[in-house]
Structure 1
Amino acid sequence: MVKTRLRVSMLCVVALSFLALVSTHNTWAQVLYGSVTGTVADQSGAGVPKAHAVLTNRATAVVREADADDSGHYTITDVPPGEYDLRVAASGFKPLTQTNLMVAANTVTNGDARLQVGAMSEQVTVEASVVNLQTEKTDVHTELSEKAILNLPLNQYRNFQTLINLVPGATPGKFQNAIADTPERALSTNINGTNRNNNNTRVDGAADVFVWLPHHAVYIPPAETVQEVNISTNNFDPEQGMTGGAAITVITKSGTNT
């Protein structure tokens, strides 16, 4: 009887460990990546069922695909941040391509498409809207783009954290410890009046927190290697654990085909 209970207990532990591993992977994916969701409709506004959406990364040519449901709605998840072309096609309609569609980490990008009746051989191409209102998520966040990080004034250490001044509710970033304690010269800040120890930084999904000085990040990527920084300061999604002030997600650059 004791052996049976022990065996059942061990199985439960293994099962819970597996679930924890899977859920952790999913939450990391949600923080690191963005997603594209939209509704495919005809010119009258009626949904186009079974439309096919193809998302192509302009730098790497990596392709992600999804099929719309009977209402014309589709979602493409776990999309690495970057610039994309979105092609939507359906039988009896002209394919529509949106170019230069920007996808950011921890953000849902709108991919609505209005198709025109016509032959599949006829192609319609439009430029994606520069202003993309966030309607699918309720968190409050600020995006620091590669362009902003490279072109706006930084401190003498070329630290992207200097731009924390652009985040509503943040105090100016400042040095809190000697260079011997933080050779990366990390900056600390208070968000919305919370303790500076409540901030949580991740670099490409890995925790970047100095255990002995939790208000500091251990590693500060050089500004030239940073693709974007997403800073959530309120209404965090469930995957933003260990955070009370700011959840800071840093995405570094990867290789391209050029």
Structure 2
Amino acid sequence: MASVNLFSGMVARSWSVSGGGVDGRVELNHNTVTGWHALALDGLDVPGTEGTCHALSSPARLFFDVGGRRGTVTITPSMGSFAYSCRFGDGEVVREDNERSPDPSAASASSRAGPALDIRVPSAAAGLDAAGKRVVYYVIRSRIAASGRTNSVHRRFRDILAAYDAVQAAYRGTPLAAALPAAPSRSASCFVDHFAPAFIADRRSAPPSPSSAPWSTPRAADNGDPPRHARSPPEQSGKRP
């Protein structure tokens, strides 16, 4: 039952369960600062699980059902920290998905990372988002080494940061957190011209590549956010050159 301190911010936890021949993955999102929490089952919100649990609150118990069997996710505040646990069916303790992964420091850790990808940011261009605001879209081109399959998407820099934050939230408070690469730089003064060619070129080439960093984390493929970031159409469907 991994715990995090009350200043951790957004934390994500997941558990995989089976009941009545049905498999399900329950996901908890909890902001340790604001106290907000909610459950999702296979990506869909679980009604009645949204609420708050602060450092001085009583334990919060959130219920879900899979295959006709009841499960409970519990958030337990204790001495400036929060612990998370899940029980299913007849009270069986379910291990977190992250706890099922071997030690990332082991020699074979690289084989448990996401697929071997060659990710590049070959270009960027200014465009308009859905609200008509002028923004910069970066072209992210990925290639899977094993199959040679390629894919290209347009993403704003904040989309890259959001995917990285989601991976951090999933591993926060677990041993896997130590395997995360350094966070992408977020420094951008309001006095800097974000459309200047030099500024855009600097973001494209800044090491480590923020677009590839989440994929170098063990079991990154088990977190839904990097795949959505790399493969799905951009959320902003505005005009682009």
Give the TM-score normalised by the residue count of structure 2.
Answer: 0.27
Give the TM-score normalised by the residue count of structure 1.
Answer: 0.25
Structure with a larger share of its residues in strand: 2
- Greater Rg, structure 1 or structure 2? 1
